[in-house]
Amino acid sequence: MKAQYLVTGGGGFIGSNIVRHLLSNGKNVRILDDFSTGRRENLAGIEKDVDVIEGDVRDESTLKKSLKDVQHVLHLAAIPSVVRSVENPLATNSVNVCGTLKLLIEARDAGAERVVFSSSSSVYGDTPTLPKQEDMNPSPRSPYALSKLAGEYYCRMFRDLYGLKTFALRYFNVFGPRQNPQSQYAAVIPRFIDALRNGRSPLIHGDGNQTRDFTFVEDVAAANLCCCTAPESSAGSACNIGCGDRITINDLATRIASILGKNIPAVHDAPQPGDVRDSQADISRAKALIGWAPRFDLDAGLRRTVTWFLQNG
């Protein structure tokens, strides 16, 4: 099947939601995933609508096959965990940095038009200035954050050296359907939902007064598509993708409990290594350069997410 779009890591939480968003917009989609962190059940119901290639983003022959006839590459394949990167920095570097570089080389050689790189708000580190703006000096605090920053620099370099139109999107705490609550590296929202709906106290790392800007995954999917139609002059840029607001983790737990109709207090343990204290996105650049703005506020996204988890067990 000829594919307009290649989604690397398309079996993952964000990737599978992007794939569904592309299909709903009438696009032809190919997925490259080794399913080491992605899950085949994330593709339930759309298996016949996509071309799935199982393989490693670091394998050149697999990349050549995956990029055949592809116009746009949405690159999400990565080891997506701060904690895991602290435990095994070499593996994170191998997949997130070397894999990205190999993808860029093969995309250039295959004649792909655009590459959209999934970066992270973690590149900002723990600087106190809020909201985070793209022209701030990055200060990564984990191998994961550093790997994302390196990917951004490679993308910009390939734009400057080879004319490949690249975009980097700095995601702020993405959540939504198909986010796995069972992984030891699971994000906070699916963990809270899973605990509360099963009558357990949600576990908060640290005092819970740290703040985050949470972004509904459908807005992330829309941002990726915006990069594929944005003016060519926007290529080489990095854009924040968030709601532009923030909430404490304590308040988040209370809000999810309210949606579920539960009255179960949270419990606390030690902070996670490499974690940042506060995070909030300035999203004005994304609006100006790629024509994107979020459609979902936190409450709307949480209600959709809770509904999906209740319906899907």
Residue 227 has pLDDT above 90, yes or no: yes
pLDDT of residue 183: 72
| Tokens 């994961």, residue located | 144
| Span 52-98, pLDDT tens digits | 999 999 999 999 999 999 999 999 999 988 889 999 999 999 999 99
Distances (CA, A) of 228 to 14, 21, 238, 247: 17, 13, 14, 31
- The reported pLDDT for the residue numbered 2 is 57
Assign 174 a pLDDT band (cuts: 50, 70, 90): very high
The number of angstroms, rounded, from the C-alpha of 192 to the middle of its chain's C-alpha atoms is: 19
Handedness of CA 239, 23, 309, 82 (dihedral sign): negative
- 277's tokens: 């204290």
Which of helix, strand or coil describes residue 198? coil
Q: With bands split at pLDDT 50, 70 and 90, how would you rate the model's confidence at 186?
A: low
In this model, does residue 150 exceed pLDDT 80?
A: yes
**Does a structural domain hold residue 248?**
no
Beta strands in the chain (DSSP E): 5-8, 29-33, 50-54, 72-75, 114-120, 165-171, 174-175, 203-205, 211-212, 215-216, 238-241, 247-248, 267-269
| Per-residue pLDDT, 276 | 82
Cβ atoms of residues 155 and 115 within 8 Å = yes
Cβ atoms of 240 and 121 within 8 Å: the answer is yes
pLDDT band at residue 169 using 50, 70 and 90 as cut-offs = very high
Residue 47, domain extent: 5-172+217-243+276-295
Decide if 201 is inside a domain: no
Q: What is the pLDDT of residue 249?
A: 97
Under the banding of pLDDT at 50, 70 and 90, the label for residue 256 is: very high
pLDDT digits (tens, 9 = 90+) for 10-48: 999 999 999 999 999 999 999 999 999 999 999 999 999
Q: Is it the case that residue 273 has pLDDT exceeding 90?
A: no
**The pair of three-digit structure tokens given for residue 294, joined into one six-digit string:** 């979020």
Query: Is the pLDDT score of 286 beyond 70?
Result: yes
> In this structure, is residue 155 part of a structural domain?
yes
Nearest to 307 by CA among 260, 262, 266, 261: 260
Q: Is residue 255 part of a domain?
A: no
286 phi/psi in degrees, rounded to 5: -60, -40
d(CA 123, CA 269): 25
Indicate the number of domains in the chain.
1
Taking 80 as the threshold, does the pLDDT of residue 207 lie above it?
yes
Contact of 249 with 46, CB cutoff 8 Å: no
Averaged pLDDT, 136-159: 97
Q: Supply the pLDDT for residue 239.
A: 98
The residues assigned a catalytic role are: 144
- Please list, residue by residue across 49-58, b when 16 or more beta carbons sit within 10 angstroms of its beta carbon and e when fewer do: ebebbebbbb
Residue at 301 is within a domain: no
| Residue 268: inside a domain | no
CATH code for the domain of 74: 3.40.50.720
Within a domain: residue 191?
no
As a whole number, the mean pLDDT across the chain is 95
In a domain, 285, yes or no: yes
Query: Averaged over 196-223, what is the pLDDT?
Result: 96
